[in-house]
Amino acid sequence: MRRKAWALSSVLKVFVSKVDPNYAQPWQMCPQRTSTGSAFVLDTAKRTILTNSHVVSNATAVYVRRPGAAKKFKAEVVCDGKVCDLALLTVREDAFWAAELRGLEFVDVPELQSPIAVAGYPVGGDNISVTKGIVSRIALVRYSAAARLLSIQIDAAINPGNSGGPAFVDLEGGKVAGVAFSKNISSSTDNIGYIIPYRVVKHFLAEADLHGSYRGVPSPGFLTQDLENPAQRAFLKMPDGVSGVMVVKTDPLSGAHGSVLKNDVVLEVDGVPVADDGTVEFREDERLEFTHIIRAKHIGEQVHLKLLREGQELCVSYPLRAKDHLVPVLDAVDAVPSYFIVGGLVFAPLSSPFLEMVFGGGGGRRSRRADIPVPVLAALNQNKTRKGQQVVLLVQVLAHEINHGYRYSVVPCESINGRRLHSLRHLTHLVDTCDQPFLNFGLEGGRLITLATSEVRAAGPQILLTNAISSDRSPDMLLPKPDDEDWDAAGAWDDDDERAAGGLGGAGDSDLE
């Protein structure tokens, strides 16, 4: 019992107060709320504690408490990895580490049917809880809107509050298989929980040690489809006994662009053969999607591909980059609550956090796609064609006599005074420097909003005062134009050219489901 006690004494309860950004009304924040989670001591020498990112995300105050103790100690977030849902904490007070604490040790992915014990502080009580189960499956799971990563499926109970707690394969020895982070809440499933394996944790810790922050995971830079149809294989001149997947799109801003072409067949990734269904061998009788090999690498590393192009085999290599989404997917990673108000028209960049808050009820719930306007939904499957490009939305109209008759909401704004928009900051610049008598905002579908420039500038302070808004723009709109963004490349607006180009951005893939 004493051997078990030392491992459980390293499992901590986390108390968090947090204030989330409000993407629906970005000039203000959401109300403060409190929550609890779990964590465990990782390294007593470095004074590091591991938990989930979603436990401490947007925290204003974090405290941790040891099992059986009454005092809470103030903790700090050292590194936050939203993409892999992991975070490092530390406690500065020496008194916390004076107790008998030992860091828990990770093991590699356990075999199927290995026993698992999940420790943490789920709802229903204040003391530590331990639930038992087995390893059910090894699979790729969506950690966030940015990536699907390796995970371990277990049948031990994981409930709210368990997040960030350790999943032991050997409780007496303090051996940990992973970090509890989610469960399947579908009404048609039972006892499906997921833990983050050591391979993902190791990637996160290496990033934190080398860079002091988490840069995310790399993207392949291309989208593929399976090659199981005989006619399609014959069309691509694939010899018998050769397997692979066909490239259908490449990301214009990725390292793959130019090295990998449409209709190439990916035969191998880093020397590992790819099957016709897009999988590679993981362990005996277990297969995973080939993308897990790429996402296990670090940004900047090289990936080596064997391709079949026009019946000829060739090898290519290129440096991996994180995907630069046209529609940002994660708050504080590639999305921030930006806005610009002109003549009562509220403009903001399209992002997944915005859709979750407006169409999904907020609170981190996934957006309901059926409620999202089709032009906005279409942008989710497009790639950036220029650095810094954004989809600018007219979010709402703050009623005033100068904008009477305009009742649009959540509709893309594509141009102003005949200039194609590059980003929200570009729109802000064009409005601020406008010397024409009218401001003509071109919306999706050919609709037009016209405001008198002089009336807009005269009525601006009154509109802000009426709606209790302190500024007509978010702080990031005051920053100078980035040197690596070419606003002039957006060019003049032409409806025919835009339809030929495919809409708001280049045709591409999206990691959103």
Q: Show the CA angle centred on residue 498, arms to residues 494 and 499, nearest 5°.
A: 120
219 is annotated as an active-site residue: no
Of the residues 9, 10, 57, 85, only one is catalytic, namely 85
Question: Helix (H, G, I), strand (E, B), or coil: what is residue 92?
Answer: coil
Q: Quick one: average pLDDT of 39-64?
A: 97
- C-alpha 209/C-alpha 205 separation (Å) is 6
Please give the CATH superfamily to which domain 222-320 belongs: PDZ domain (2.30.42.10)
**pLDDT at residue 99 in the model:** 81
For the question of residue 163 being annotated catalytic, the response is: yes
**Does residue 82 or residue 364 have the better pLDDT?**
82
Q: Is 36 exposed, middle or buried (0-12, 13-18, 19+ CB in 10 A)?
A: buried
Residue 146 pLDDT level (bands cut at 50, 70, 90): confident
Please return the burial class of 437, using the count of CB atoms within 10 Å of its CB with bins 0-12, 13-18 and 19+: exposed
What pLDDT is recorded for position 461? 97
Position 285 pLDDT exceeds 90: no
Fold of 340-487: N-terminal domain of MutM-like DNA repair proteins (3.20.190)
Band of pLDDT at residue 191, cut at 50, 70 and 90: confident
- The DSSP code for 113 is T
Answer yes or no: CATH 2.30.33.40 is held by domain 105-211: no
Query: Is the predicted pLDDT of residue 206 greater than 80, yes or no?
Result: yes
| Residue 374 pLDDT > 50 | yes
* 436, pLDDT greater than 70: yes
Q: Which residue has the higher pLDDT, 383 or 2?
A: 383
Q: What is the mean pLDDT of the chain?
A: 91
Give the pLDDT confidence score for residue 504 in this predicted structure. 53
C-alpha closest to that of 135 among 83, 184, 177, 188: 177
| Residue 190 pLDDT | 75
Of 132, 33, 147, which Cα lies nearest the Cα of 83?
147
CB 229, CB 238: distance < 8 Å: no
Q: With contact defined as beta carbons under 8 Å apart, do 32 and 43 qualify? A: no
pLDDT of 311:
93
Domain range list for the chain: 6-96, 105-211, 222-320, 340-487
Q: What is the structure's pLDDT at 495?
A: 58
Rounded mean pLDDT, 455-464: 97
Q: pLDDT value at position 363?
A: 40
Q: CATH topology of 6-96 equal to that of 105-211?
A: yes
- Asked if residue 418 has pLDDT above 50, the reply is yes
CA–CA separation, 126 and 102 (whole Å)? 22
Q: How confident is the model at residue 189, as a pLDDT?
A: 67
Has residue 362 got a pLDDT over 50?
A: no
pTM attached to this predicted model: 0.90
Residue pair 386/398 in contact by the 8 Å Cβ criterion? no
User: Count of H helices and E strands in the chain?
Assistant: 11, 30
Three-state secondary structure string covering 467-507: CCCCCCECHHHHCCCCCCCCHHHHCECCHHHHHHHCCCCEE
Report whether 172 contacts 18 (CB < 8 A): no
* pLDDT of 231 higher than 70: yes
pLDDT at 368: 66
> What was the pLDDT predicted at 2?
44
Active-site residue, selected from the candidate residues 38, 54, 276, 509: 54
Band of residue 502 on the pLDDT scale cut at 50, 70, 90:
very low
Q: What topology is assigned to 6-96 in CATH?
A: Thrombin, subunit H (2.40.10)
What was the pLDDT predicted at 509?
44
Catalytic residue, from 38, 53, 144, 163: name it: 163
Strands (E), 110-157: 115-120, 129-144, 147-154
What is the average pLDDT across 96-123?
93
Residue 85 is a catalytic residue? yes
